[in-house]
Amino acid sequence: MNGSHILVVDDDPAMRDLIGTYFANNGYEVSTAPDGAALKRVLNARPADLIILDLQLARENGLDLMRGISSDSQVPVIIITGQRRDEPDRVVALELGADDYVTKPFSLRELMARARAVLRRSERADGRSREIQQRIRYRFAGFELSVRMRRLTSPHQTLVKLTVGEFNLLTAFLRSPQQILSREQLIAATRMHDEEVFDRSIDVLILRLRRKLETDPSNPQLIRTERGVGYLFQADVEVVR
């Protein structure tokens, strides 16, 4: 995990230097960027293993950058928000694909712990694909998920991009179709660890997944809510080896 490439995006030079130096001193390779243009230049030169993105940029909308990252790649993202009252921005960022967040003021040790956890989740997802389920594909409702490639194909044969959390959540459902999974089980499957909003984080992931799978996300037919209990994936699932 050490040696992973961390990209820090913040328009505050002092904050960029503080975070970058801390991660570099802990064995990570670090790049920094003050804005979206610099972020793209860094990513074009070398893919990142993790992006740490401050949403409160002076000249750009951090949510727009988050949206662009999610649409262009599957790199994990930790967002930094200014204050606890910025909850709407945090929720939107999670909906757009962010993997975790920290709120200012935060300790560098906490940020490091969260970064390591996100990198572990990403590595485990890749490891499961390579080592445990090399050849497995799941078919359901016209979709096909290749576990090895971490690639979801729609009934129209178009690629559906999934974040690490969405992939882990969908895989958990596909392994246990037509069974009620509790929030605790889904938390374990996605390896989310936010200390304040476990349930809401799962709900955000469910919402994001419904938007990608359901014809009408407001009237879901694949992922059903079992109120007070959890969620049930009610499609027939075929496992292809």
Question: Rg (Cα) of the chain, in Å, rounded?
Answer: 18
Assigned domain for 226 exists: yes
- Total domains in the chain come to 2
CATH number of the domain enclosing 101 = 3.40.50.2300
| 14-18 own/partner pairs: CB under 8 Å, 24+ apart | 15/54, 18/108
Q: Does 112 share its domain with 142?
A: no
Higher pLDDT, 153 or 58: 153
**Cis, bond preceding 155 (omega within 30 deg of 0):** no
Of 198, 192, 191, 182, the closest CA to residue 232 belongs to: 182
According to the model, what pLDDT value does residue 130 have?
52
d(CA 161, CA 212): 9
Q: Does 9 share its domain with 115?
A: yes
Q: Does 137 share its domain with 114?
A: no
Query: Sorting pLDDT into bands at 50, 70 and 90, what band is 2?
Result: low
The three-state secondary structure class of 176 is coil
Mean pLDDT (whole number) for 110-132: 76
Q: Does 9 share its domain with 96?
A: yes
Q: Does 162 share its domain with 216?
A: yes
**In terms of DSSP bridges, do strands 50-54 and 77-81 run parallel, antiparallel, or are they unpaired?**
parallel
**Enclosing domain of residue 21:** 5-119
The three-state secondary structure class of 12 is coil
Q: Flag whether pLDDT at 126 surpasses 80.
A: no
Q: Does 9 share its domain with 81?
A: yes
**Residue % of the chain over a pLDDT of 90:** 50
Q: Does 105 share its domain with 153?
A: no
Could you write out the DSSP letters of every residue in 37-80? HHHHHHHHHS--SEEEEES--SSS-HHHHHHHHHHH----EEEE
Q: Flag whether pLDDT at 135 surpasses 70.
A: no
According to the model, what pLDDT value does residue 194 have?
44
According to the model, what pLDDT value does residue 200 have?
66
Largest CA distance in the chain: 53
Domain termination residue (choose one: 58, 86, 119): 119
136-186 pLDDT, tens digit per residue, is 889 999 999 998 788 999 999 999 999 888 998 999 899 889 989 988 788
Q: Which tokens sit at 28? A: 């990570």
Q: Does 113 share its domain with 213?
A: no
Q: Does 95 share its domain with 142?
A: no
Of 165, 10, 5, the closest CA to residue 81 belongs to: 10
**Which helix H or strand E contains 208, and what residues bound it?**
helix 198-213
Mean pLDDT (whole number) for 224-234: 92
d(CA 130, CA 93): 29
CATH number of the domain enclosing 138 = 1.10.10.10
Assigned domain for 124 exists: no
pTM above 0.95, yes or no: no
**In terms of DSSP bridges, do strands 143-146 and 230-233 run parallel, antiparallel, or are they unpaired?**
unpaired
- CB count within 10 Å of CB 121 equals 21
Q: Flag whether pLDDT at 100 surpasses 70.
A: yes
Least confident range of 80-84, 88-92, 105-109: 80-84
